[in-house]
Structure 1
């Protein structure tokens, strides 16, 4: 077979149906909702609204959140139909493999893998920073060499970040059912903390903090501030907050009745997240002038202390630290299922696609955890965070376009799903266009990192994947 035929050969969906049939279906709608909310409403809800308001949008940060939510919702509809039609492990990687062919599936999957690796390390570092900030007032302080990434501020290893990633890995290796129960409890706790902040903060909102709602546009050291240019810069920065729903789709092979469970879980978790994000951003800006949030890693705690609620601030931050485990659980489950899919298909070494005696893809969990620990040990993440969005946006564009050929095969070799993308054929094109616009708004450094990551992916594909794929 010629190289171009190999690159474009499409996988029969029944093969994935048979291979993934060994996975245990144990996730219900409430579990998928918890995974979605837990992953989407992660560390970013406690940090990004204040940062984006101070650096780019001012009070109009709520518009940035709304526009980012609109783009995410458009893509979520395409994900919902895909996961209902093809409830296989690997989400975009597997779907694109079936629709467009092996090479394109690898590109989409490799893009998502960047999200999972870096998001795990990024959230682990965020959890570490918040926990250390909570321990500092009671004089519990780790030495610098155990508090920061290698070569950063005298650091050798961020031991709390590493420990949190490993703890989550052990939890997932015991089975997704047990992990889902922990996730459900932590998500409920985290939502209560967010609502507590919103209700307490709403009593101290001052209308003058919203004036002018859209500040005049200027160019600062951080890029565009104010005007629609600042709002657009905020959208590209904020979009990171909403991308977690793709990790929900990666678990569709373990969902009970995925025809109904996956669309409800994907769209429902995104709607809940949008309401929470917009509520938090409105209250944050209303409590005190947005300029005060500049360079603050914990704007929620800062705002509560500003209105003289230090005890509530401490409670919310403690729950926020616990709540970050929900994002680690969601990303670990999704990333390990993607690596399992690569091993299952021979794109990476086959042992990664093996299940243990209890039908759990634990080899993939170990591989994901090991690499995430190395990344969290070596790299600081302030410069790498937008790479999470860059890779995911490319996968979003693939999935949005894949809806068109999917429609022609539904009811034939692909199951006709109960859920359909509304306003077809317009909505999938709008989803693609929205993802492209947000991608173009990312900073040049993020695009450079994305280019390097894809170059590495091409090397692995042509050196190994194309020779060993089934």
Structure 2
């Protein structure tokens, strides 16, 4: 048993990751990471979740749910900023925890993030499809139900628009980072301008009575979840936590950052700050335009609210930009997910083929696998089930990273040099980040926890049956023993 535990806790030398990732070109600057972060954070969730959470849990107080999620995300973002500054490796939390706590724990953190990326890409693809269909429906465009909805929705078989857009983004990324970054930067600017246009126009349609009562009286929904009171706000926090997880996609690409000690903290914290301001503003305007109950089961509330308030043309413009802007989140999540899968293959915890690069030093094998899995997930799960499934895996990874700060500080004067960003108020803030992530995790639905438990069980089985035996660390140890003999 002691031998097994020692194998599970084998730690990777950070210098090995530096060598392994050296072939990845460091081309991304602060503005690229800001665009990547804002593009991922200010995405499907900002145009869909404010209405859904207001109707299902928080009422007009949905803005408080966004603020609560922002506080926890901010604490975790500080930890991510320090980790990516000290260890700018591909794979983010997976690689960091592998170095700090050991291979098995790194695998669990990475496996948790892999669920996030599979589901997040499918979630954004579903949001893209819903908004595009809402935009085109006034023109008489309507897909058959079996092609417009996922298998998990009534009458659905596959969301064909979602599948096509996911594949299109993968093809763009397969051409290289520079091309993707150019598209990302342009679309992010357009998307932020569209959000501002909604805020300005939507503010003219606000009716003060829609905010009263701001925190509705607490009661239990038919499905057993909370509505109203602080319980409803808390339920909303757990549902919308995914809105802010885009900063993780920045960290996953830190091996391709110029001067990561500066670019990573600025990109992570800057994009999160912009996202918080825009999320809270959109939620306040949206629930002020119409009573929160009007947004129940509405996957495109922003466009709907503008149309219903007499701004059909503005609504069409905003929604058109929204649809195009969702490419940015797909780019960010697909990039991050492919780098994570590449990292698994790089360390031989999954087949070596996944860690191979093409002639342009791009992890297109990993990109192919991520694309296929995201299309499958999007084909099975309906839009409203995907949000909490993302949060479950991500929160587990966040808990690992915040606790990892303690291990990092102990190593900084030994084999890890960190001359960049340091998480303030150490050792208090790392603990608060861990505690906040745990509290949010406890608030997600039972269904999401069951799915998460099943996902981790699969990951543990894969590790013990394949990863532990084939891993780079195991191979390295065997080679050293054979050399000694």
TM-score using structure 2 length:
0.95
Distance in 2, matches of 1:319 and 1:76, equals 28
Which deviates further from its counterpart, 144-153 or 73-82?
144-153
Tell me the CA shift for residue 178 of structure 1.
Answer: 1.0
Distance 1:126 1:466 in 2: 38
**Which residue is equivalent to 1:226?**
228
Question: 2 CA distance for matches of 1:151 and 1:198?
Answer: 34
- Indicate conservation of the 8 Å contact 2:130/2:300, yes or no: no
How far does residue 151 in structure 1 lie from its aligned partner after superposition? Answer: 6.5
Unaligned runs of 5+ in 2: 473-485
For residue 52 of structure 1, report the CA deviation from its aligned partner. Answer: 1.2
Whole-angstrom CA distance in 2 between matches of 1:436 and 1:154: 37
1:278 partner SS: helix
Report the Cα distance in structure 1 between the residues aligned to 2:158 and 2:239, rounded to whole angstroms.
27
1-10 vs 237-246, which moves further: 1-10
- Structure 1's consecutive aligned runs of 4 or more residues displaced over 6 angstroms after TM superposition are none
**Counterpart in the other structure of 1:372:** 374
- Is the Cα–Cα contact under 8 Å of residues 91 and 250 in structure 1 kept in the other structure? yes
In structure 1, stretches of 5+ residues that fail to align are: none
* TM, length-normalised to structure 1: 0.98
Aligned residue pair count: 470
SS of corresponding position for 1:156? coil
Q: Distance in 2 between matches of 1:381 and 1:132?
A: 14
Farther off after superposition, 354-363 or 108-117: 354-363
Partner of 1:271: 273
Inter-partner Cα distance in structure 1 for 2:32 and 2:14: 26
Write the distance in 2 (CA, Å) between the matches of 1:282 and 1:137.
27
User: Which of 235, 240, 246 does residue 237 from structure 2 map onto?
Assistant: 235
Number of the residue aligned with 1:255: 257
Deviation at 1:152, TM superposition (A): 4.1
CA displacement at 1:434 relative to structure 2: 0.4
Superposed CA deviations along residues 162-200 of structure 1, whole A, max 9, x for unmatched, are 111111011111111111110111111110110000011
CA gap 1:183/1:444 in 2 versus in 1, 3 angstroms: same
Q: Give the aligned partner of residue 24 of structure 2.
A: 23
The equivalences for 1:440-451 within 5 A come to: 440-451=442-453
- Relative distance call for 1:152 and 1:283 in structure 2 (3 A) is closer
Distance 2:329 2:158 in 1: 21
Does the CA-based 8 Å contact 1:149-1:155 persist in structure 2? Answer: yes
Cα contact 1:384–1:446 (8 A) shared by 2: no
Residue 128 of structure 2 aligns to a residue whose secondary structure is: helix
Relative distance call for 1:145 and 1:219 in structure 2 (3 A) is closer
Give the 3-state SS of the residue equivalent to 1:128 in structure 2.
helix
Give the stretch that moved more between structures: 27-36 or 382-391: 382-391
Residue 171 of structure 1 is matched in structure 2 by: 172
**1:331-342 mapped onto 2 (5 Å cutoff):** 331-342=333-344
For residue 398 of structure 2, what is the aligned residue in structure 1?
396
